[in-house]
């Protein structure tokens, strides 16, 4: 059985979730099972439709709405903690080959749970499970734990010209 690694996609540039989705599609096409958990997010995103088209692909949101312009509510915190507990069960069970923890770094940034809790869960996972973590502001302790870290750097973005998120591209 292959060893699973921990990958992090962070930084202020666009493409972290998109990268994780691309990796998930590649894995499914290679016959692997993928679980894609989204922290913070509770809104409608096009990728939620992927479960209709991809075998061995499951996706779940652990957010209520997007609060990143406000402070998280007690319900946001509870939802994130429940999501982390579910992710722990999934990682320890080992049913999936690839487990994506989308926007986990943002959940950590807003202190919805601790870095120690996440590292403890990563340490308990089955050895073959590959973990993909996305989101801005990856904490140094998680970067140190990871086997691969890629920082997306924004060089130029059309948001600066007022272009809103487009269905099928950004959402």
Domain containing 131 — which CATH number? 3.40.50.300
In a domain, 29, yes or no: yes
Residue scoring higher pLDDT (69 or 102): 102
Q: Would you say 130 and 7 are in contact if contact means Cβ atoms under 8 Å apart?
A: yes
pLDDT interval class at 6 (50, 70, 90): very high
The structure's pTM equals: 0.90
Going by C-alpha positions, the residue among 35, 160, 166 that lies closest to residue 97 is 35
In a domain, 90, yes or no: yes
In a domain, 167, yes or no: no
Domain count, the chain: 1
For residue 99, give its domain range: 6-161
* Mean of per-residue pLDDT scores for the chain: 90
Cross-sheet strand order for the sheet of 34-39: 57-62, 34-39, 98-102, 130-134, 6-10, 148-151
In a domain, 166, yes or no: no
In a domain, 141, yes or no: yes
In a domain, 154, yes or no: yes
pLDDT interval class at 163 (50, 70, 90): confident
In a domain, 41, yes or no: yes
In a domain, 77, yes or no: yes
């Amino acid at each position: 059985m292959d060893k699973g690694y921990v990958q992090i996609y962070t930084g202020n540039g666009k493409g972290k979730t998109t990268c994780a989705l691309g990796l998930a599609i590649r894995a499914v096409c290679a016959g692997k099972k993928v679980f894609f958990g989204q922290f913070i997010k509770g809104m409608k995103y096009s990728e939620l439709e992927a479960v209709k088209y991809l075998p061995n692909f499951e996706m779940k949101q652990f957010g209520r709405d997007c609060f990143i312009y406000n402070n998280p509510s007690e319900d946001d915190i509870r939802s994130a903690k429940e999501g982390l507990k579910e992710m722990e069960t999934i990682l320890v069970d080992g049913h999936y080959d690839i487990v994506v923890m989308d926007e986990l770094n943002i959940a950590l940034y807003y202190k919805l749970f601790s870095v120690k809790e996440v590292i403890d869960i990563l340490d308990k996972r089955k050895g073959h499970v590959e973990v993909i973590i996305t989101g801005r502001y990856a904490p140094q302790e998680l970067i140190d734990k990871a086997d691969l870290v890629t920082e997306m750097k924004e060089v130029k973005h059309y948001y600066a010209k007022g272009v809103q998120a487009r269905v099928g591209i950004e959402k």
